[in-house]
Amino acid sequence: MVNRVLLVVFFVPLAVVLVALAVANRAATAFTFDPFNPGNPALTLQAPLFVWLFAALALGAVLGSLITWAKQGRYRRMAHQRGLEAERLRQTAAQNPGQNPGQHPASPRAPALPRA
């Protein structure tokens, strides 16, 4: 249900705007990779303007996603380590069902502080 509402409210108007943008900007535009010699035909590509706009939008989305993924690497690593530690603790608890976690059987229990 939420997906359908999101589709109707956000993606349908976005698609209409993008189609209108593509229709309005369909004239061929030159894109050159040589800023010092713009007339160089070997380094110049011709395509409609909307193609360049959509390519820039897609490139920005991909680069933004990659940068975000790289920045969050330490959190993924920490979550993985904590998951391994939790699994190790589960296995330890399963092997020693009658023992309190964190209490070694040979060590006496420390005295508790008085309650105020």
Neighbour count for residue 21 (Cβ, 10 Å): 14
Q: In this structure, is residue 6 part of a structural domain? A: no
Residues of the domain holding 39: 12-89
Q: In this structure, is residue 101 part of a structural domain? A: no
Output the pLDDT for position 101.
56
- The total number of structural domains in the chain stands at 1
List Cβ neighbours of 26 (8 Å cut-off, separation of 6 or more): 48, 49, 50
Asked whether the beta carbons of 101 and 89 are under 8 A apart, the reply is yes
Neighbour count for residue 48 (Cβ, 10 Å): 14
Q: In this structure, is residue 49 part of a structural domain? A: yes
Token pair of 32 as six digits: 């050159």
Q: What is the pTM of this model?
A: 0.59
Task: Please report, in tens digits, the pLDDT of each residue of the chain (116 residues total).
Answer: 788 887 888 888 888 988 888 888 888 888 888 888 887 888 888 999 889 888 999 999 999 999 999 999 999 999 999 999 999 999 998 888 777 655 555 555 666 677 76
Q: In this structure, is residue 100 part of a structural domain? A: no
